[in-house]
Amino acid sequence: MTMKNILTAAALSMALGGMATAAELVPLADESVETAKVLRDKALENDEAYELLASLTTEVGARLAASPKEAEAQAWAVAKFLELGFDRVWKEPVMVPKWTRLSESAHVAEPFAQPLTITALGKSVSTPEGGVQAEVAHFATFEDLKAADASEVEGKIVFISNRMERFKTGAGYGPAVRARGAGASEAARKGAKAILIRSIGTDTHRLPHTGGVNYEEDAPKIAAAALSNPDADQLVRILGYGETVRLDLTIQTTMEEPVEMFNVIGEVTGSEAPDEFVVLGSHLDSWDLGTGAIDDGAGVAITMAAANLIQDMAPKRPRRSIRVILFSAEELGLIGARQYAEAHEGKDIDKHIIGGESDFGAGPVWALASTVNPAALHVVDKMAALMGPLGVVRADRKAYGGPDVGQLGKVGMPVVDLMQDGTDYFDLHHTADDTLDKVDPVALRQNVAAWVVFTYLAADWPGTFR
């Protein structure tokens, strides 16, 4: 290891609350580094991830959690793992509530009659029979709704018009998505009949973005939907005339008792420590509007292809196993991941050596972040250095592991983030436009190349990331 790497490890160690001395650093074998380089370069010539993604989105299509299509996807995943020759393939049960979208419509009744393009938010209840006809109560932000007096809301349809900002990192999502997650309960507490939000997305297409609503126990449940961004702009303009605006909104959905779904797992067995494993995660379910190509079919394909490339192309198996977990029901609230973490905590979570998740579309990886012990930082630094020719830099922030794998991070597993360029991710996210034609095969290869570097080195290094 170079002095530059030692200094980098020391600096990051201090940031993480500890200091590793050179004597504590378990070296990374030159042979491992050379194998990672070879795998990286082979990945750039390999289209297996794109082929897997095309198969999933064509043969199965949309994969709404707990639906027959998610069950089809799980059968597809088992068959593909076996076809690819993974050493172990199995399913772990997950109980998932079954929500179904039936119908949705909205139109302006007064003062300028016209239809609006909407989609029900996931887990939304139905409107009463005959729909809801009411005046609009407009709030620019979720915070404005929270600050409003109940008299401004009671008996009305709440409309929140906050606009999501575009960032490479997707940083605009968190501030904007509060309207989707918490808006319905906040509006219901103040007597609203229903809620509409501007879609949580960065596009200007007339395609609304769905996504889950979170009902809180202390509030009534009201129907919740998202307007496409152009329709939200139109409604804001209509409200600008200063006249009373009335809408007619009808949403029909069903929510049934939980059904048994599965996390599907494929494993490449390690050569020396097969009971220890590196986790590669993604989620197999999708929303029902598109075909789930970027969210998260791309992640499924990237992680499966990365593990398969190692088992097919590496001159020798890494010392640890590689576990690819395709989680169920992420979109309905990280259900598969939370149940997996609960099932493995206190059982074999200590065998989950390190993990990461691909769940931010198909844009190229541009940075590598980690949350590991100080004595392992030099290994992550070497991973980043080997990813350098791919355009990847070492991030100076802690990793959280992604939505699903992050649940394992919460119970003690070290994690990395292979950060993707999400500049246009939220143009497509949760819309009917989430389809295979939006995926660049070259970017998909670059993702696999970055993932094989991380995966092989993590699985072959004899030290601990904990």
| Residues identified as active-site | 330
Q: Which of 99, 126, 380, 123 is nearest to 257 (CA)?
A: 99
Report residue 96: phi and psi, to 5°: -130, 125
Task: Determine how many CB atoms are found less than 10 A away from the CB of residue 233.
Answer: 15
Scored b (16 or more CB within 10 A) or e, 376-393 reads bbbbbbbbbbbbeebebe
H helices of 206-297, where?
229-239
Distance from C-alpha of 430 to C-alpha of 212, rounded to nearest angstrom: 10
Query: For the chain, what percentages of helix, strand and coil (3-state, to nearest 5) are there?
Result: 40, 25, 35
Under 8 Å between Cβ of 422 and 361: yes
Strand partners, 103: 252
Pair type for strands 273-283 and 352-357 = parallel
Task: Determine how many CB atoms are found less than 10 A away from the CB of residue 20.
Answer: 20
Distance from C-alpha of 33 to C-alpha of 438, rounded to nearest angstrom: 34
Report residue 288: phi and psi, to 5°: -95, 0
